[in-house]
Amino acid sequence: MAITPTMTDRKDGSGNDDPGLAVKTRTRTQRPPMYKVLLLNDDYTPMEFVVHVLERFFGLNHAQAFEIMLTVHKKGLAVVGVFSYEIAETKVAQVMDFARRHQHPLQCTLEKE
Q: How confident is the model at residue 53 (pLDDT cuts 50, 70, 90)?
A: very high
What distances in angstroms separate CA 28 from CA 25, 31, one per listed residue? 10, 10
pLDDT tens-digit profile of 13-31?
Answer: 555 556 666 777 778 888 9
Of 4, 81, 77, 66, the residue nearest 39 (C-alpha): 77
Residue 45 has pLDDT above 70, yes or no: yes
CA–centroid distance for 3 within its chain: 60
Between CA 56 and CA 40 the distance in angstroms is: 17
